[in-house]
Structure 1
Amino acid sequence: MPGNERYPGAKRRPGTKKGPTKGSGGNRRQGLEGRGPTPKAEDRVGHPRARAKALAEARAARPTRAKQLEKIRRRFEVPEDHEIICGRNAVAEAARAGVPMSRVFMASSSATDDRLAAVVRRAALLGAPVLETTKLDLEALTGGAVHQGVAVEIPAYEYVTARDLLERARAAGRTPLLVALDQITDPHNLGAVLRSAGAFGADGVVIGERRSVGVNATVWKVSAGAAARVPVARETNLVRALTALKKEGCFVVGLDGRSEGVVDDLALADGPLVLVAGAEGAGLSRLVRQTCDTVVAIPISRTVESLNAAVAMGIGLYEVDRLRRRARSGRD
């Protein structure tokens, strides 16, 4: 009857009925699993710390400068028994003294420097190749020394004996003046002593074979070429060599700051003389000191404990040269 019908309410559209639906069959189960702990910042792709870590690893993979220099040196194939001397003065003096050269390395032009031009001429006479190199090449060859754009390769230094030094001086008509160094291990000291020996007319330097530095690239550099003019004798036993020189008529004088005598009162300075210096601090060894005919000191201020071997020997050679000049002027 009209008025008795019920309002049917909202009707669902077909296909929208709620209720159980067909499952995924486990296809999305992996998406429901956890991802584990959060990675560290440096392990997250795109994170600033991750980029910094990758950059640091790339830098670490690059060859270090030391390895780079060693690789360059191996490329030049320098024999182990050869020396590389560098610096314009040292190289020019070596060329002037006729030191045999195997190769010349230059990173600068010789047109503006007469010293380098002389080196090139000497190399041409010897048939030694002149190689144009970079400054990095020279840094590798010289071990980082101040090369001034030039270096030369020379054979191992040829030592003589103490007797050779004595005979050469006598053959030249000179009163022998030799320098002996007791356990000097610093190449800078040996180089400086060679320079002083050349300046004051010494006939050579005697060094020991053990606990003593030999003539190397640093010695060449510090001596400013004096290593090419002043011969060096290397003896197995320094005490035995000094004893032999004494038998040949030489007067052996040790330099030691603890002595009561002073060098400017040295007698017999105008005779055949061997001037001996020891290492800084330790001074002369016991046996060398006992072998000396006399030991003298160089007067210094009480505020300074001692002089190193190079400085002491330079002063000692100056005093001997001064006393010899006075003796010659007195005879004249």
Structure 2
Amino acid sequence: MLRLHRVEPAAALHADRATYQDRLLFHTPEWLAFVAECQRAEPVLATVSDQGATVGHFTGLLTRRCGLRILGSPMAGWTTSYLGFNLRPGVCRRAAVRALTRFAFDELGCAHLEVRDRGTTEADLAGLGLRWDAAPTAVIDLRPDEDALFGAMAGACRRNIRKAAKSGVVIEEAGADPAFADEFYDQLRDVFAKQNLVPTYSVERVRSLIRHLFPVGRISLLRARDSDGRCIATAVLPWYRRTMYFWGGASYREHQHLRPNEALIWHALRWARARGVTEFDFVGANSYKAKYGTTEVAVPWARQSRSPLVARLRDAAKHGFALRQRAAARLGRIRQPATTTGS
């Protein structure tokens, strides 16, 4: 029987965690510091043991909602794709999930648990008392050569990439430019305004992400400029080991006819591949991503509550957030019309 034991963060612990082949960016100390800062949450690290021998690790964060202790690994809204487990080959993920529920409710005294683990399948969750959403993601295998990657895209996508180049769109690395976060966020507001919404997070989250990841070289910040040198689109792309993630992308509507978004993704794919990255993860499976030649991967988002009332409160909170977002967008349009001027 597997068991989870909470441990304090230490250099030796992180060194051991780094030896696991399924370790992702989201398990690193820098990413946890980013989430903890933005969500006012407390990181929770635990070893997974089998008869006293360590066979894996668990990563999550403790937070409070309505006075209730919640263990998120991760929670929706944290702009974090996956957390969950790092396990040695052959260790049963179903058994790890079963041990996690005991750990969350018995040892930590939580009222609610959410987990999205890249290696866990719906079959692993069946019969354990959890509910889950399918939550697939779209990925691109970067191991083929550039010609094969380009050829796997839809014809319209390839034409758009060529159009961007012919129109004078240039992609550049933003580096440590402090203006980047504001540029990205201004474009993001325009993206949401198109749907009569407002962004789900503030510009401070973008700044926090860059502040924690840029010094350790785990993020690529890209700009697309038009032929006049105006920044018309941006992309935020954390990466670690084998995978680059599409954390966020935005562009001004008035310049989208130049196709900067496709040019940004094509640049990112080549940039990542040149550095030995073998997978590009779009972090979600929206239909527009299929044009890049993606493959859909199922990554269920599971949750369990101590009582049915807590489960209903969670669902009501999710619905209430959507209503508040739309209300905020309406209020914003009354106070100050959205602008689409370049930076």
Shorter-chain TM-score range: under 0.3
Structure whose CA Rg is larger: 1
More strand by share: 2
TM-score (norm 2): 0.19
TM-score (norm 1): 0.19
